[in-house]
Amino acid sequence: MLSKIKLAQTPTPVYELPRLSSHLGGPQLMIKRDDLTGLAFGGNKVRKLEYLLADAQDQNADIVLTTGAAQSNHCRQTAAAAAREGLDCTLVLAGDEPDRPSGNNFLDQLLGARIVWTSPAERDRTLGREVEVLENAGRNPYLIPYGGSNSRGAFAYAMAVEELMAQLHGQVPDWIVFPSSSGGTQAGLVAGARYFGLESQILGVSVDEPAEVLTARVVELANEAAQLLGGGFSFTPQDILVNDEYIGEGYGVMSDLERGAIRDFARWEGILLDPVYTGRAGGGMLDLIQRGFFTPQESVLFWHTGGTPGLFADTYQPDIL
Ligand SMILES: Cc1ncc(COP(=O)(O)O)c(C=O)c1O
């Protein structure tokens, strides 16, 4: 068994969305609220960090480093987990340093992380240099991969499938829909579904990568998670469902798709989506419903992966209402 520390408030709630569902004329909609994992506004990375920080502690690390975009949820959750475990934290953020921190970036600083700004092209080099400087100073840094997506991060989501199944009481959704980006969440869900025998179709809505690229990443991570599970099974690209129709102008560029989904979830169900990930996947799901991809008789579970502090980022907020 992999070592794990407890960071998340689990099980996260699962329930039906009757008002949104009847507004749309079906299908039956359900939600799994991983925006409520509980650590500094929650989100999917808290589950991954339970295994990643346990590994850091097993290796006697005294500082964790990771990287992401200026409004990275993964970085904010890493900063919170490090604070809680008494580890220092350096975040290498790719983007322009804002004049006034807001949203996730404000929280990173509030949570005590040291921030190093860099460009997307320089990101990995900057991270490598930070690790080297720390090692030369006698520190013991632990590097958390982009998005927390390695075998441990994926394993965390395989275990989340077991949690979900215990909540369904046999009412298995035909589909599970969620945003997919660095692939660890999707990899874990498909590996966990195979291992625990969940028969739902698992559809990742790509946030930023073409289906081919994301699928290859998910296959690799799902196979690593399968090995950790010891299930004796493996995956090929044919086993992975990715929809890349909603990438639009690219990562973090909001359109009417995200704005409409954020408003619909808020006004029909009192649920807040985020501008980058769940807004895009939620918008994709609503569009697929309108196009008849899911039949009114089917059931669809939307796995809310968090990201809500993005609603308070200056870059997005004025655009939403
Ligand atoms: C809110 C939110 N949803 C979904 C994702 C995508 O998860 P993954 O990187 O495991 O594909 C992220 C990743 O940063 C996220 O912050």
Residue 316 and residue 184 share a domain: yes
* Residue 212 belongs to domain spanning: 14-44+149-320
Are the CB atoms for 43 and 81 separated by under 8 Å?
no
Tell me, rounded to whole angstroms, the distance of Cα 168 from its chain centroid: 22
Pairing of strands 141-143, 114-118: unpaired
241 and 143 both lie in a single domain = no
Q: How far, in Å, is the centroid of ligand 1 from the Cα of 274?
A: 11
Domains in the chain, number? 2
Question: Which residue is closest in CA terms to ligand 1's atom 16?
Answer: 73
Q: Is the pTM of this model over 0.95?
A: yes
Which amino acid is present at 101?
Answer: P
Q: Kindly give the confidence (pLDDT) of every residue in the chain, 321 residues in length, as a single tens digit, with 9 standing for 90 and above.
A: 899 999 999 999 999 999 999 999 999 999 999 999 999 999 999 999 999 999 999 999 999 999 999 999 999 999 999 999 999 999 999 999 999 999 999 999 999 999 999 999 999 999 999 999 999 999 999 999 999 999 999 999 999 999 999 999 999 999 999 999 999 999 999 999 999 999 999 999 999 999 999 999 999 999 999 999 998 999 999 999 999 999 999 999 999 999 999 999 999 999 999 999 999 999 999 999 999 999 999 999 999 999 999 999 988 776 778
Same domain, 175 and 287: yes
Residues with CB under 6 Å of ligand 1 are 43-44, 73-74, 147, 149, 179-186, 274, 277-278, 305-307
**Which segments of the chain does DSSP mark as H helices, in order?**
18-24, 45-58, 73-85, 103-110, 123-136, 151-168, 184-196, 211-229, 256-269, 278-290, 317-320
Please give the C-alpha separations between residue 260 and each of 101, 108, 204, 243, 263, in angstroms, as whole numbers.
Answer: 26, 28, 19, 19, 5
Q: Which helix (H) or strand (E) holds 243?
A: strand 241-243
Q: Do residue 246 and residue 108 come from a single domain?
A: no
33: in domain? yes
Q: How many CA atoms lie within 13 A of 2 on its CB side?
A: 25
**CB of 199 within 8 A of CB of 172?**
yes
User: Rounded to whole angstroms, how far apart are CA atoms 215 and 235?
Assistant: 11
Q: Are residues 182 and 266 in the same domain?
A: yes
Pocket test for ligand 1, best of 207, 209, 271, 304 (most atoms within 8 A of CB): 207
Clarify whether residues 158 and 258 are in a common domain.
Answer: yes
Supply the DSSP string of 15-58, one letter for each residue.
EE-HHHHHHHT--EEEEEEGGGS-STT--THHHHHHHHHHHHHH
Instruction: Evaluate the omega torsion of the peptide bond into residue 11 and state whether it is cis, within 30 degrees of 0.
Output: yes
Q: Are residues 237 and 197 in the same domain?
A: yes
Question: Do 63 and 86 fall within a single domain?
Answer: yes
Instruction: Give the number of the atom of ligand 1 that is nearest the alpha carbon of residue 179.
Output: 4
Cα 212 to Cα 124: distance, rounded to the nearest angstrom: 23
Other C-beta atoms closer than 10 Å to the C-beta of 128 total 13
Q: Which of 12, 108, 144, 182 to mutate to test the pocket of ligand 1 (most atoms within 8 A of CB)?
A: 182
Cα-based torsion angle of the residue sequence 56, 60, 62, 64 in order, rounded to the nearest 10 degrees: -20
Q: Which residues are catalytic?
A: 72
**How far apart, in whole angstroms, are the C-alpha atoms of residue 136 and residue 230?**
38
* 92 part of a folded domain: yes
Q: How far is the CA of 135 from the centre of ligand 1 (A)?
A: 29
